Amino acid sequence: MNRWSSALPDDALVQRIGDRFGAGLQESSDFRGDLSVVVKPEVVVDLARYLKAEEGFDYLLYATAVDWPARDPRFTVVWEVRSLAKQARIRIKTTTAMPDPHVPSLTSVWPAASWHERETWDLFGIKFDGHPDLRRILMPPNWEGFPLRKDYVSFGEPVIFSDQKLEGLEPDAIRG
Amino acid sequence: MVKNDVRTQESFGPEHEPEAEWMELNMGPHHPSTHGVLRVRLKLDGEIVRDADADIGYLHTGFEKSFEDKTYTQGITFSDRMDYLAPPINNVGFVGAVEKLIGVEVPPRAQAIRVIMMELARVASHELWLGTTGLDLGVYSGFFYAWRDRDLALDLNEAYSGVRMMTSFTRVGGVAWDLPDGWLEQLQRFIDVMPSRIDDFESMLTNNPIWRQRTEGVGVISGEDAIEAGVTGPVLRASGVNYDVRKAFPYCGYEQYDFEVPVGKNGDCYDRYRVRVAEMRQSLRILQQAVDSLPGGPWLTSDRKVALPPRSELSKSMEAVIHQFRLVSEGFKGPVGDVYAFVESPRGELGFYLVSDGTNKPYRMKVRPPSFCNLQSLRKLVEGVLVADVIAIMGSLDFILGDCDR
């Protein structure tokens, strides 16, 4: 059998979150055994505290974001946590919009989120309110742009010929 | 023996401002034992480290962005270039996420081949760790023994996949090739010779007073702190937390094999060394069982929507030609959704968070690299230790910067 490490299902957990946070819980899904909840940014920290203190989710796996340019709000921010004792896993998602994408930081609940949130800021330009040390981590400090955004072109460098000027040269136009 | 509790701050007197006397020391940007390129800024109070800031990203190559431009099959070659010391495990982790997304069954023989390749990689990676960390701490001869033994595992990689390191041997739904003739005999010779080689190493280090002085009681982290810091793998287990993905969430049929998860007590560098050496022995146990119980049958799924048809079918079946054309020209599509699949790499939990928008490429591929998460704990570990111990601690964390920076 090939389980690919699904968490044990805990249907009642979503129910408990729904009871506690009401309209703060916007959506929940169970895809291939991965439980995820979409919550409003305002309740993320409360939800995290609740999950850690009362449900035993003691271990932060990662934090990241997904860029959906056609959607509004554009960014989905994802944290995934695990309970080592219960062997359960839950994915916390929230959304944030341009032009100033920002969500609350969960470093106060899970300190391990620190570098992951820095990385998300570095590559997506999403600010984490309350993060103690939010600066670039993988890219150089003077880097411009946020590479993992979908409108950041990954191939093709602008080539400037002698009769051209840099201004007004769209990278997209060069990629062809 | 003077250890981490050396604190000279009191001797400055109450009105003295120690921070003004702190020196900033730049370690790197290279790692003394070439685990990759890393710069660490240390704040020193004499010989004692007060603060450390790891500056990573020198090996950042944007793999996560590159995944978005390649089909699922093409992405396999990216996966092993991240953690270049355990490529087979990266391969399996990557296709594991894709297999979880599209829900394909993997034949038992392919799973056994994957387990064999992964455990070989674990032995090779731990051998390299032994060699380089020994080198950091002055055990120069150990490096050559470790390199010799690691090469045996790389020879097996080469005989199987044609490549010594970047094997890229997995395919979605199985593995790319069956084992070649004579390979299992070569593997058996490896399994037979390795225990005595590990014994040699242990006789050189385990009770070596210099080795013990350099590692015992250095870089201690408790189990709770390790969980809080997000550490996994041998570093977490050395602190007494029994968590191994292979036991907790078995994949690739690990539940069939009889092995133990070595756990330490003190959470210091010495325990991390002991845990890794014990893990190598357990890996050899798994290898022996996998060889003895290797199932026959196909090594790639017969689901033609995801796996190429055998070459012999192409001259007989029009349908096979169509499948071949579709798979080679555009690959296969995954359903809309997001999954997280994870495997136990020699450094800890290696996870792949895959978001699919229903096309033939990952919409987003987030890698949870164990090195990144373990390196995050460096700041906590080095606070208050001597500068020389920073080397021991960095070595004991066993981070690979290619994995960390991606």
What was the pLDDT predicted at B9? 41
CB atoms closer than 10 angstroms to residue B24: 10
The more confident residue out of A14 and B17 is: A14
Beta bridge partners of B40: B27, B54
pTM of the model: 0.86
Residue B47's contacts (CB-CB under 8 Å, 6 or more residues apart) are B6, B386, B387, B388
- pLDDT value at B14 more than 60: no
pLDDT score of B29: 72
Q: Alpha-carbon distance B327 to B309, whole Å?
A: 10
Report the chain A residue with the minimal C-alpha distance to residue B241. Answer: A84
Summarize pLDDT for B145-157 with one digit per residue, the tens: 888 899 999 999 9
What value of ipTM does the predicted structure carry? 0.84
Cα–Cα distance for residue pair B51/B221, rounded to 1 Å: 16
CB contact under 8 A, A84 and B241: yes
SS3 A68: coil
- B341 vs A: CB within 8 A: yes
SS3 A75: strand
CB B149 within 8 A of CB B113: no
**Structure confidence at residue A173 (pLDDT):** 46
Name which of B56, B68, B105 is nearest A138 (Cβ-Cβ).
Answer: B56
Cis (ω within 30 of 0) for the bond into B29? yes
Tokens 């035993």, located at residue: A56
Tokens of B222: 């408790």
Distances (CA, A) of B121 to A125, A128, B309: 36, 38, 29
pLDDT, average across residues B305-330 = 88
**Cα A62 to Cα B353: distance, rounded to the nearest angstrom:** 9
β-pairing, B336-345 vs B348-357, is antiparallel
Residue among B47, B75, B51, B48 nearest B63 (CA): B75
What residues 38-67 of chain B have any CB closer than 8 A to a CB of chain A? 56-57, 60, 62, 64-66
pLDDT tens, A58-101?
889 999 999 988 888 889 999 999 888 878 888 999 999 888 89
Answer whether B100 sits within 8 Å of A32, measured CB to CB. yes
**Contact between chains at B368 and A115 (C-beta distance less than 8 A):** no
- For chain B, how are helix, strand and coil distributed in percent, rounded to 5? 50, 15, 35
Task: Classify the phi-psi angles of B36: left when phi > 0, otherwise alpha if psi is within -120 to 50, otherwise beta.
Answer: left
What is each CA distance from B204 to A50, B141, B148, B340, in whole angstroms? Answer: 50, 10, 16, 41
Cβ distance A61 to B341 less than 8 Å, yes or no, reads no
pLDDT band at B6 (very low <50, low <70, confident <90, very high): very low
pLDDT, tens digit, 9 for 90 and up, residues B36-53: 688 888 888 888 888 888
Does residue B18 register a pLDDT over 80? Answer: no
> In this structure, are residues B315 and B116 in contact, taking their beta carbons and an 8 Å threshold?
no
CB atoms B248 and A64 under 8 Å: no
Q: For chain B, say whether A66 makes contact (Cβ under 8 Å).
A: yes
Residue A172 has pLDDT above 90, yes or no: no
Which token pair is B84?
Answer: 């270049």
Q: Indicate the pLDDT class of residue A23, thresholds 50, 70 and 90.
A: confident
